[in-house]
Each structure stands twice: as C-alpha cells, then as structure tokens.
Amino acid sequence: MKKHNPLLPLLLLIQLHFIFSFHSVLSHLLPIVHDQESNTTQRIHTYIVHVQKPKDADLLIDEELENWHKSFLPNTTLDSGEPRLVYSYHDTISGFAARLTKEEVKEMESMEGFIQAQPDEVLPLLTTYTPDFLGLSQRNGTWYDDGYGKGMVIGILDTGIDPTHPSFSDEGMPMPPVKWKGTCDSRVATCNNKIIGAAEFLRGKPVPTDIDDNGHGTHVASIAAGNFVDNIDVLGNAKGTADGMAPRAHLAIYKVCTKDGCADSDILAGIDQAISDRVDVLSVSIGIGSRPFYQDSIAIGSFAALRRKILTCAAAGNAGPSENSIANDAPWILTVGATTTDRRIKATLKLGNETELIEGETAYQGPITANLTMLPMAFPGYQGGNNNCLNDSFNGINVTGMLVLCLSGGDLSHIEKGMNVKKAGGAAMVVLNQEEQGLTTLAEAHVLPAIHVNYSNALKIISFFNSSLAKNSTAMGSIFFNGTQFGALSAPAVASFSSRGPSYNNGGILKPDILGPGVNILGAWPSKVGPESLGSSMTFNIQSGTSMAAAHVAGIAALIKSSIRRHRRYPSSIKSAIITSAKSLDREWKPITDEHNGNPSKISAMGAGQVNPSGASDPGLVYHLHTHYYVRYLCSLGYTDEQVRVITQYRVQCLRMRDFGPERLNYPSILVTLGIPSRKVIRRVVENVGEPKSIYYPQFELPEGVSVEVYPSRLEFSSQYEKQWYNVVLSISNSTILGRGDFAEGQLLWVSPRHVVRSPITIIFN
C-alpha cells in the first residue's frame, strides 16, 4: 500500500463512542450522522471507491495499480495542491480512497470499471485474573502445551500502543517468525520481539502527538498478548501477575483510530497492511451496529483477511441490552460479547440509620487512612438539577461536602461524572444503574470515593432519599471499602451492555458467536489513573466493554492456531472449535445469567456461551466452511452482483448461483425460521479432528412444540480429517404452543466418549 500526504479535508461528523466505554451505553442509538452541510456539491470528502481489477492485477507492481486507481480521478491534485488519492488498496478491496466532491463522484460513476463509491465514515472504538478464570494456568493444560501462543502474530487495529509499558517487554520472547513481512514505524512504536510491527493509517484526521491518545489500544493489546508482569495492582486492588491470553505471541500494531474514532478508509488500510505483513489473527474492537456488508469496512476487510487464512475477532458492541444491537455480524467474523468474572472490587454503602448494607464496586478504595463518615446526600437529578452529573454546575445545588447521587448513562463516563462532583466540592459519589444497565457494576479508577450499585440497589437508595425528603430530614450515607474479593456468584454472566442479536443484516446467522471476559478487566494503560495524589510507577487500569472481550478471544484464537497442525489452520476451523466447545453454564453449573435482568441468558445475548480455551484446543469435530460458499450466501441476501463484487473483488453472477441461504451455510450454530414452511432440513458437514476412530451420537434439547430428527443417527469416523454430513429435520409439532414472532431455543450435541460438540439452535416462528 502507498501512503499519501496526510493533509486532510474535514471528515464527516460522527458521534463517537468507544466500544469499551460503558458510559455511552445509553447513547448507543445514535445513528451515523452524514454530513449535514452537504447542500453544496462543492464540498470535498474522502470516498472509498470500488473499481474492477485491472487485467492481470496480480502481476502489477504497486505503481501500476496506483496508476489504474488514479485513472478514475479528475486529476491528481485538489485546488489546494493536496493529492486526491488517499490510499491505493491492494488486498482488502479492489479500489482506493480519494478526496472528491459529490459531483466528481457522479461523473466517475459512468466510467468503465467503476463499481461503487461510499463516503468515508468514522466508527467508534468500541489482566491479572482472567487467564485463571478461563482455566488457563501457568504450569498446566492448553496454555503451557501451546507455548502461550508462540510463533503467532496478533494484529491489533486500534489507537496505537504505549511500547514502553512493561507488558510489552520482550523478555522471554522468541524472534519474529520467518514469514513476517511487517515493518516498524517509529512514530507508532519502537519495536522489539514482542511488538514486531507498527504502522499508522490516520489520513482521515489530525495525527495525535500522544503515542496512544486514549489508552484503548494499549489495554486491548495487553489483554491479547501482554507479557508476564509480576506484582501489579490498580490503586492497591486486583493484585497479582498481569499477562495476556497469549503471552508469547507477537503483536503488530495498526494505528487506525484516535480517541475520536476510526475512519473506514483507515480501517481498510490497516487491514490491507496486516494482510501483507502476514498476521495470524486480527483483533478489532471497533464498530457501530449492523450495516450491509458492502458498506461495512470491517466486514469487507475481514473477508479479504479470511482469504489469506487470517481470522478476525471483533467486538459485538456495547449497545445492549437492546435487541438487534449487534455489530460486526458477518459470518466470517468471530463476534464476541462480554461477560463478568467472579472478581469484585467491593465497597459498601450504609444508608442513614438503616441497618442494611448495600454492596457495589469501585477500584479507587478511598483515602487509605479512614473510612468515610456519614455524609449528607444530594441527588441533583431528583432535586431538579441535571440528573446525570453531566457537568459541574448541578443547577445551583450546593454539593460541597456531600455524597452525590448520579445516574449512570449519558455521554459521560462514570469517572468523568466523579470529576464533576469533585470539582463542585462533592466529597463522594454513588453511581446508580438505571433499568437498562441492570446488574452490571464496574470497578473503576475514580478520582474520589465512590460506589457503583446495581439497579435494584439504586431503587432502594432513591426511595430512601425520597422518603427522607418527604420527612424533611437530610438523607445521610457513608461508604466503606472492602477490597478485592473472589467467588461472586452467577459468574460468568452476560454484561448488560453487551450487544444482542439477532442481526438485521446477516440473513439469520446467529450472533454473537461467543462470550469472553469484558467487565472490570485489568490491562496496561499509558498514563496514571485515579486521584492525582496517588499513582504507582507501573500503570494498569480496569476497563469494561466488548473490546476487552474480543481481545481475549483474539489471544485465545492465537493459542489454538499455534496448537493445531499447520495445514489445518483454517479460520473457520479455529472459529468452529471455539464455538462448539463454549460453556453455556456458569461456575455453579447453572445457565449463564443475563445481567440485564438476572434471568438465564438467551442465545441472542450469549451465542454459544463463554469461551473455553482448553476445550477449543481439542474440539473433536469442526465445521469447516470454504470461502466460496460465502459468495452464494451473499447472493442469497439479495445483494446485486456489484454489491457482492465489492466484497469478493471478482465478478459474480448471482442469477447463476444455486440458491444457498444462510440456513445452509456450514456454520457451527443453527438459526432457522419455521412457519411457512413448517418443516426444514438443515444439512451440516463435520470434519474429524480428534481421534482417528471415533463414534458420535446426537443429543437434542429443544422446546415443546418443535420436533426434531437427525439423520444419520450416529457419525462413525475411521480416520482423521474424514468428513461426514448429517441432516437435522426441524418441524413444528404443536402450533398452538408457539406463535408468530416467537423464539425458541435449544441445542444439538454430538457426543463421543471424549468430546461434546455443541451447537446452539434458535428457531424463529413466522
């Protein structure tokens, strides 16, 4: 890929929110705002332009390809003298990004070879303990056997990295693999044997001077592949050894985002580079809900990556608990939702003269010398002020010395709300969940004594405040700090903010695929956290979001890839192994809870369940899915030939394709629509990657009203890599139980003496 002059036009105005930022959960419904001033055709934007491949494209040198792309432009420079071409893409798309006016794009549409132009958009970005929690331990099992991901390269598309952080030391790291083609841009990072590649693609915006102007990139990189760092803590809590999921894997850093978000054109350029550098796994914690795939840079880029056998792990989004809020929903992506762990960094709130104690969380455990004394409480929202502590004015309420109640949600993080409270003279803060944040509480590095409580506790506190007010007495409260505790019940549980399926745009592929730890995750951080007066020399921070979950699974995918035989390292096989081995039960063997309401989680929130690294390294059977099936799948979504071509990069004639709907994709999970017709046959093919001689029997769990048959009634394998097909016949057996619009959920297990290969099933009735 060729880089061009970084001078840039104004980009489209987009609301941003990082996938990890829980606070913006309430504002997730913000649409992509297209340029509101575009009443003039004279305005220059960056457009991503898809064109046909030139003849013998594979033989062309970079310059020839670039010339082909330039031939579509009116001329090579703008009036200002800036070059029009922003990126000339190699692998991710057949096309380029360029600065153009609407009128110029219109003219281009009639040129031979033109396919589609799309204005660039800006997408939001969306551990000491998690290896243990996931059953990885230093001297035992998968982790050790797999050499902690040795030889693998994980590409991180994010805000960059703080390369000086001890998590990225190369102590104990092997040399980069021989296949590695990447280079190191010193503006992004100084490389070593841990960080072996660094590149920057920020044509879309001013380049920040900070090495990682947000912290998000540093944090997710440490989760995926941070090296071991002993004796760490966050403000004295969550003490232990920090390390990533694949501590011996290498990192390649593609800086495509700033704290303000990530442009589609930059994301495509980052993936382009990652493909030619030869990463093994891509970790993408960016996204904005579901878009048609031909307009979705992550879907398009990850499809190109797939063709080079690179698996993309991407965050499901933080727009839960709303249904249909899923992002990164293409079937070739491993889409990851977020769960809690059983670790809590606890605090306790005592209300006035009440004896009951209310539990919550915070990572900043107050002044070390004293527990807080009883303080008068203020609730600016209830008292007519801005209820979310969104600024430090509190509409005239004097909060000096008070314990201030703030609702969760709105455009500020909890930490920023705490800063407002502190600035206004408040002594402490209680963050109150609203209904949609449910039971998920965060342990954050606040700047003042604080406690974050769940929704049912929030209601108790508000009603206590209400009743005091009614009695004309001052509500009083105090916070106690209890430190780090393990063994919380109902763990893992789906975080309330984790985005939910089903997807509007993928035609009926079950998403998310999998869950990974994403609540209160400890990771590397480029700057100090908490109150200014504190801070240790090594900085770690606790963050929550599906970003953190995706980074965990990217690390695990690298572990799996390094552990299986070279010629079987297909992305679809790794993905299948991770999905079919997932756990749908929590640590108490109860169904995984949804923290939105405390009920058992639906498949639309949890997919197959919690990632299970040791199970995934020995899956027994895998559902392999050859890339060419996706072409038929794309046709079945009703896309035009040109729209399919944007993704596949070669000419497709959908009319000539046998109809091959989403239900027939050889996916490791099953989603079918029943009603008309009321009976469907689902065919799947499995490949034996376990013992050469093995026999699997099916087991079903399906709701009343649905009947199921499977043929054949057992799968008998006599050699490794042997393939067998089976049919599942699903039909409505009692139409009085299930009505139109109902969802039913179940599962199919293929069981051998050594393996259980589980596929979640969702049936939608129409």
State in angstroms the smallest separation of the CB of 39 from ligand NAG. 4
Residue 445's nearest CA partner among 219, 156, 134, 209 is: 219
Interface residue list for ligand NAG (CB under 6 A)? 37, 39-40, 74-75, 77, 79, 137, 139-140, 346, 348, 352-354, 357-359, 368, 370-371, 386, 390-391, 393, 398, 400-401, 439, 454, 456-457, 459, 462-463, 466, 472-473, 480, 482, 598, 734, 736-737
Q: What's the angle, vertex CA 315, arms to CA 311 and CA 318, rounded to 5?
A: 170
**H helix runs in 491-628, sequence order:** 546-563, 571-580, 603-606, 613-616
Nearer of residues 132 and 185 to ligand NAG, judged by Cβ: 132
Q: Is-catalytic flag, 277?
A: no
Q: What is the β-pairing status of strands 344-351 and 476-485?
A: antiparallel
Give the separation between CA 445 and CA 757, rounded to whole angstroms.
41
Q: How many helices (H) and strands (E) does the chain have?
A: 15, 37
What ranges in 504-570 are assigned the alpha helix state H? 546-563
23 is known as an active-site residue: no
Nearest Cα neighbor of 47 from 316, 319, 244, 263 is 263
Q: With respect to ligand NAG, which residue has the nearer C-beta, 348 or 536?
A: 348
Q: Which of 547, 562, 636, 752 is catalytic?
A: 547
Determine the residue with CB nearest ligand NAG.
Answer: 359
Identity of the residue, 185 or 742, whose beta carbon is nearer to ligand NAG in the bound complex: 742
- d(CA 766, CA 745) in angstroms, rounded, equals 15
CB of 356 to ligand NAG, least distance (A): 9
Instruction: Compute the least distance from the CB of residue 221 to ligand NAG, in Å.
Output: 28
Closest distance to ligand NAG from the beta carbon of 99 (Å): 11
Of 23, 40, 244, the residue nearest 152 (C-alpha): 244
Question: Which CB sits closer to ligand NAG, 185 or 359?
Answer: 359
Q: Has 216 been annotated as catalytic?
A: yes
Question: How far is it, in rounded angstroms, from Cα 630 to Cα 623?
Answer: 14
* Nearest distance in Å: CB 563, ligand NAG: 17
Instruction: Give the residue with the Cβ less far from ligand NAG, 465 or 726.
Output: 465
In the complex with ligand NAG, the residue whose CB is nearer, 465 or 639, is 465
H or E segment and range at residue 642: helix 641-648
Nearest-10 Cα torsion for 477, 418, 27, 607? -80
Residue 273's nearest CA partner among 676, 3, 565 is 3
Query: 23, 28, 50, 216: which is the annotated catalytic residue?
Result: 216
* The one catalytic residue among 91, 120, 146, 158: 158
Tell me if the bond preceding 492 is cis, omega within 30° of 0. yes
Smaller CB distance to ligand NAG: residue 384 or 712? Answer: 384
CB of 686 to ligand NAG, least distance (A): 27
Q: Which is nearer to ligand NAG, 474 or 527 (CB)?
A: 474
DSSP-derived secondary structure letter, 544: -
Minimum CB distance to ligand NAG smaller for 192 or for 348 = 348
Dihedral of the CA atoms 614, 615, 616, 621 (nearest 10)? 150
- Whether omega before 677 lies within 30 degrees of 0, making that bond cis, reads yes
Instruction: Compute the least distance from the CB of residue 400 to ligand NAG, in Å.
Output: 4
* DSSP secondary structure string for all residues of 651-688: ---GGGSPP--GGGS--SSEEEEESSSSEEEEEEEEEE
> How far out from the chain centre does Cα 275 lie?
20
Dist. CA 494–CA 37, nearest whole Å: 41
Of 336, 267, 325, 273, residue with least CA distance to 298: 267
Supply the minimum distance, in Å, between the C-beta of residue 304 and ligand NAG: 31
Q: Give least dist CB 597 to ligand NAG, A.
A: 8
Mind telling me the catalytic residues? 158, 216, 547
